Amino acid sequence: MAVSEQAKKQLIDYIMLQVFDDQYIDRQEEKKILAEGIKLSISVDDGLAIMRQVAAEKGLVVERDVENHITEILQQFESNDGVIDKKEFEDALALFKSSCKGKVPEPELKKRLKKIILAKGWQVKEGGLFGSKWFSAIPQLK
C-alpha cells in the first residue's frame, strides 16, 4: 500500500524527534516509531523502510541493524576455526563501538557481544599461556 506524503512526513518528523539528542535509534525507540507509523496507517514494513532511509540519509544509528551486522561478523570469526578468540572479540568490539558512534558505553557493548555469543551457542577460546578468563570476566546482561 502506498504511503501518503503527509503520513510519511509526520513519521519522519517523529523519527527526528526520537533521535534529537543522540542520533541513535535503540530498540525501544524503534518500537515507538513503528507504533507511531501504525497510528498514521503506515505498515510495519513501510515504517521500517522509512526509518532505515532516514537513518541512511541523516547518518543515524539503528541499534538492531548494528547488532545484526556484528552478529554476522562474529559468525564469520566463529566459522574460521570453531571458536572466537580474544583478538576476534576485541576486533568485533571495536567495530561495534565505531558503528554505534560511541553512543553505547564499552562495558555495555561487551555484555551485548557476550549475549550474542551465548545465544548462538558459539565457543570462546579462553586460557592460553597465562590462563586469562577474559570472556568469563564479562558480566552478563540481565
Look at residue 102 in the predicted model and tell me its pLDDT. Answer: 85
For residue 101, which of 61, 67, 65, 57 has the smallest C-alpha distance?
61
Look at residue 140 in the predicted model and tell me its pLDDT. Answer: 85
pTM listed for this prediction: 0.84
pLDDT in tens, the chain (142 residues): 688 999 999 999 999 999 998 999 999 999 999 999 999 999 999 999 999 999 999 999 999 999 999 999 999 999 999 999 999 999 999 999 999 988 899 999 999 999 999 999 999 998 766 667 889 899 987 6
The DSSP letter of residue 110 is H
